[in-house]
Amino acid sequence: MVTAIEPIMRACSGTWIAHGSGAADRMVVDRFDRVQVPPEDPSYALRRVWLSPEEEEGTYGFSNEGLWPLCHLAYVRPAFRESDWQQYVAVNSRFAEVVNREMGGTESVILIQDFHFALLPKLIRDRGVKATIALFWHIPWPNAETFGVCPWKSELLLHLLRADILGFHTIYHCQNFLATVDRFVECQIDHERMTVTHQGHVCRVTAYPISIEWPPRWLAHTSAVEAARATIRSRHQIGPNVRLGLGVERWDFTKGIVERLHALECLFEKNPEWIGRLTLLQIAAPSRSKLPAYQALQQHTLAEVGRVNARFGTPAWQPIVLIGEHQEPAQVFELYRAADFCLVNSLHDGMNLVAKEFVSARDDEDGVLILSTFAGASRELPEALLVNPFDVTETAAAIVAAIEMPREERRKRMQLMRRTVAENNVYRWAGRMLMEVARIRQRQSLAPWNAP
């Protein structure tokens, strides 16, 4: 998400209010808990909010162990705890107070990002803040029956509906949200205009597919394609005649990393001629590692990597190279440029910007994208090889198709995808929301009129 929002802040200025943690964050702020970004030529202000250990554990517990699995169809049971909910409410209230102080009585535009702050629209309104509020929900929205599992479903919905604009990645998620509101809230829904009217307030529900900046500034810090290939292969001891597949994710159960390993195993079973000639380089950045479910996922992934490598590997070649470390953006773009194909087989994703980043990195118009049909990006990038991530046989077949695809076919597909990402970049994403905000503000300034 940061890769999408940060370019917008640089372009539009304003104040970004965000949780701060650790000594490094505290060292750079002034006495008002602000830091100018970038320090040498400021484009915007970053306002830090500090949380106690109890607040941090509770609000992230509700967000990451409750809402995250609830909204993703990865079949992980959500955990809802009263103590987490209370801290989630408290932290949202803290942020609402900071917003109120930062605005200082001026009328402005507030863009709220993601499910961690679902209560903010109403909490901000309750403090008398005059603002046009847009909230963008970066993850999927489940069907009404699934969302009904949440003990605080009504509170979440009523707070969200105080936004002027509620954005999702896809029309499908918008429709799921409207169906959820229809089931649990007494209100008026206009399905044609995609609006919800509750207690006289109108909330517009709209799809805004998020994207990345174009051109990506990290390309300026990345070597040419051939040099990137040589560097990556040398660094990870991958031979020149070995095809290179790439996966880049947070180490999360929604990303389909284990399913990816099983697809590779299926490929070698059905296509033994590729043994010794294909390696998957998997980047898995540790995420939420304090949570038992994520610890178990990491252990299971390591075990599966070891098993597949032991089954098919040789002293000179390993089918899977796993890098369980965070990579800086320039490093990731170097990997994108070195790969023959990028495999994005998320079990469920609101959008997935890795798919778009891979496309943006390939100015050589080469490389193949394999993309999950359950990622929002699949709606915009049909030229990718689309797969059901739960079907390892289909995914294995897509990998074979990718590495055997003729150069001209790869070029045509990449050209079309690059055109899409270039035209629908993050600035257009933000611009559409801000244009709608402007229209709302203009309408609100009009005098009311009723027919005689």
Topology classification of domain 51-208 = Rossmann fold (3.40.50)
Domain with CATH 3.40.50.2000 in the chain: 51-208, 217-425
CB-CB contact of 169 with 128 (8 Å): no
- Residue 371's beta-bridge partner residues? 344, 386
The order of strands in the sheet holding 44-50 is 15-20, 44-50, 34-37
What would the pLDDT profile of 111-142 be if each residue is shown by its tens digit? Answer: 999 999 999 999 999 999 999 999 999 999 99
Hey, what CATH class is 217-425 in?
Answer: alpha beta
Q: Which residues fall within 8 angstroms of residue 444, CB to CB, at 6 or more apart? A: 132
Quote the strand ranges of 319-444, DSSP E. 320-323, 341-344, 368-372, 385-387
Sign of CA dihedral 138, 139, 143, 147: negative
What would the pLDDT profile of 318-364 be if each residue is shown by its tens digit? Answer: 999 999 999 999 999 999 999 999 999 999 999 999 999 999 999 99
Helices (H), 107-256: 120-126, 144-147, 153-160, 171-184, 225-235
φ, ψ for residue 318 (rounded to 5)? Answer: -125, 135
Give Dmax (Cα) for the chain: 87
What would the pLDDT profile of 379-397 be if each residue is shown by its tens digit? Answer: 999 999 999 999 999 999 9
pTM: 0.93
Q: Which residues of 123-142 are buried (b: 16+ CB within 10 A; e: fewer)?
A: bbbeeebebbbbbbbbbbbb
What would the pLDDT profile of 14-58 be if each residue is shown by its tens digit? Answer: 899 999 988 888 888 999 999 999 888 889 999 999 999 999 999
Look at 34-43, 94-103, 302-311 and tell me which has the smallest mean pLDDT. Answer: 34-43
DSSP notation for 301-313: HHHHHHHHHHHH-
Q: What is the dihedral of CA 15, 18, 24, 28, to 10 degrees?
A: 20
Task: Provide the token pair at 124.
Answer: 């901000």
The identity of residue 62, as a single letter, is: F
Q: Which is higher by pLDDT, 156 or 7? A: 156
Place of tokens 């969302």: 147
Closest alpha carbon to 242 in 251, 252, 254, 233? 233
Place of tokens 């040498």: 40
